[in-house]
Amino acid sequence: MKILGERFRYIAVEGPIAVGKTTLTKLLSATLNAELMLEDAESNPFLERFYRQPDRYAFVTQMFFLFQRTLQASALKQRDLFEAPTVSDFLLDKDLLFAKLNLANDEFDLYQHMYQHLRPTTPTPDLVIYLQASADVLIERLDRRGWFVEKPISEKYLRTIAESYAQFFHEYDASPLLIVNSDNLNFADDPEDYQLLLTRIQQIRSRREFFNRA
C-alpha cells in the first residue's frame, strides 16, 4: 500500500460514538506504516461526570478535549512532510459539533471564542473517512465494548449525535470525503470487509464518494 500512503499523507477517520473509528484508524496505520494519532477519551477526567450530569459538566469536558486535540494537532503541524503518513481518529473541526450540541448558548459563545483563539493552523487532511451507522447499530456496538464510563449514555443522545454528524458532513467540503455506511461492515473481525474498503479508497477520484456493502 505504498502508493496509497504517498497519495494520502494525512487521513482522518470520523464518526459518532462506537462507530468503529479507532479500530479502522489502527488498521490503516498498520497497513500504511503511518503515524497514529488517537483521541484519548479515557484521559478526560470529566467525561464520566458529563454522561451522568451533562448540564453541569459539558463545558469543562469540552474544554479538556479542545486543549488535548489542539496539542495533538500542533504536533502534526510541526511534522516534516517527508516523514511517514499520519492517520487520526478525529478531526479537529468536529469539536464545534459537540460544543453546539451540549453547551448552553452563553457557554457556546465563550467556547467559540476559545476555539478560534486556540485552534492551530493544521494541515488539511488529504482524505476524511466518515463512518456512519444507524442508531440501533451504534447502541449495539456501545453495549458490546462495555466501557463503564459510557454506561449512562442514552439511546436518545446517540441518535442526536448520529444526526449531528450527518448534518456536519452533509455540509463538509474542506477535504476529499469518503462516506462509509458501516452497518454491514466489521473491520475488526472480517479482513474481507477491510480489504474491500482499501480497494474503494484506491479508486477515489472525486471529492465526495460513498461506500456501502449491502
CA torsion angle for 136, 161, 169, 109 (degrees, to 10)? 180
pLDDT (0 to 100) of residue 178: 98
pLDDT (0 to 100) of residue 94: 86
Cα–Cα distance for residue pair 33/181, rounded to 1 Å: 25
pLDDT (0 to 100) of residue 117: 86
Bridge partners, 209 (sequence order): 178
pLDDT (0 to 100) of residue 10: 92
pLDDT (0 to 100) of residue 129: 98
Q: Which of 57, 10, 8, 31 is nearest to 187 (CA)?
A: 31
pTM of the model: 0.91
How many degrees, rounded to 5, is the angle at CA 42 between CA 54 and CA 166? 60
| Total structural domains within the chain | 1
pLDDT (0 to 100) of residue 193: 95
Cα–Cα distance for residue pair 163/134, rounded to 1 Å: 10
Q: Which segments in the chain show pLDDT lower than 70? A: 1-5, 77-82, 214
Could you tell me the residue range of the domain that residue 154 belongs to? 2-212
User: How many residues in the chain?
Assistant: 214
We report the CATH number of the domain holding residue 53 as 3.40.50.300
pLDDT (0 to 100) of residue 7: 83
Q: Is the separation of the CB atoms in 91 and 38 below 8 Å?
A: no
